[in-house]
């Protein structure tokens, strides 16, 4: 076999391998972006629900101004961010913590807890949070697969050249994690 032909075949195999690696990295990055889109839909619903929730609580707990300001500031911070970057994830974590504070205030006002509008908003927010948690697990799994792929040999040799870098996970901040850990289980009977 001609030496030139062998060199050509080896180069062809190398180029084909690089193309396959590049395409795999692009596909994994796109899967991660799609996973965040699922979270984004739920976060938008939560974002839109918050003003109604705050107004309902304000009607009963007029002396809790700092709690309302925290929620409003955290919501505004979320409004200034976009995408799946670290800033957005941190802003969403702050908003989740601020909402925990809002619900802690509600515990001190029995009439508020009995208000049907508040109960409906609370149930709607709980449903949204459950959907966010499910979407977050898928997003973190996609992020883990993507980060692993760009660190493996030989993909790590070309990942930096083409702008592939480690991405952050969507994790709860420690206050939210603690609040969820300490939350009493919700028990419902009948429909």
Residue 150 lies in a domain: yes
- Going by pLDDT thresholds of 50, 70 and 90, the confidence category of residue 64 is confident
Half-sphere exposure of 8 (CA within 13 A, CB side): 5
pLDDT confidence of residue 117: 87
**Averaged pLDDT of the chain:** 85
- Going by pLDDT thresholds of 50, 70 and 90, the confidence category of residue 178 is low
Residue 178 lies in a domain: no
pLDDT confidence of residue 58: 85
d(CA 84, CA 130): 19
The gap between the terminal CA atoms of the chain, to the nearest Å, is 77
d(CA 76, CA 91): 9
Residue with the bigger pLDDT between 95 and 172: it is 95
Residue 65 lies in a domain: yes
The total domain count for the chain is: 1
Residue 177 lies in a domain: no
Q: Residue 18 burial by CB count (10 A; 0-12/13-18/19+): exposed, middle or buried?
A: middle
Residue with the bigger pLDDT between 86 and 72: it is 72
Residue 172 lies in a domain: no
- Going by pLDDT thresholds of 50, 70 and 90, the confidence category of residue 164 is very high
Residue 168 in contact with residue 32, Cβ under 8 Å?
Answer: no
187 pLDDT above the threshold of 50: no
Residue 30 lies in a domain: yes
pLDDT confidence of residue 186: 46
Using one digit for the tens of pLDDT, what is the confidence trace for 9-25?
999 999 999 999 999 99
Using one digit for the tens of pLDDT, what is the confidence trace for 120-141?
888 898 899 889 889 999 999 9
d(CA 96, CA 77): 12
Residue 188 lies in a domain: no
> Where residue 160 sits, what CATH number does that domain have?
1.20.1440.20
pLDDT confidence of residue 31: 95
The C-alpha angle 60, 62, 68, rounded to 5 degrees, equals: 105
Name the residue range of residue 58's domain.
3-164
Over range 169-178, report the average pLDDT: 68
d(CA 137, CA 48): 23
Residue 90 lies in a domain: yes
């Amino acid at each position: 076999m001609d030496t030139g032909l062998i060199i050509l075949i080896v180069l062809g195999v190398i180029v084909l391998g690089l193309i396959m690696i590049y395409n795999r990295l692009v596909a994994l990055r796109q899967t991660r972006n799609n996973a965040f889109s699922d979270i984004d839909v739920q976060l938008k619903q939560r974002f839109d629900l918050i003003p109604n929730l705050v107004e309902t609580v304000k009607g009963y707990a007029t002396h809790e101004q700092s709690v309302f300001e925290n929620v409003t500031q955290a919501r505004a911070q979320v409004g200034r961010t976009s995408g799946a970057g670290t800033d957005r994830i941190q802003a969403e974590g702050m908003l989740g913590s601020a909402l925990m504070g809002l619900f802690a205030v509600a515990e001190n006002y029995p009439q508020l807890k009995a208000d049907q509008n508040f109960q409906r908003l609370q149930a709607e927010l709980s449903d949204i949070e459950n959907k966010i948690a499910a979407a977050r697990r898928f997003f973190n799994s996609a992020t883990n697969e993507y980060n692993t792929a760009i660190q493996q040999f030989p993909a790590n040799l070309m990942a930096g050249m083409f702008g592939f870098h480690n991405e952050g996970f969507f994790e709860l901040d420690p206050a939210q994690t603690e609040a969820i850990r300490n939350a009493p289980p919700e028990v419902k009977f009948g429909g």
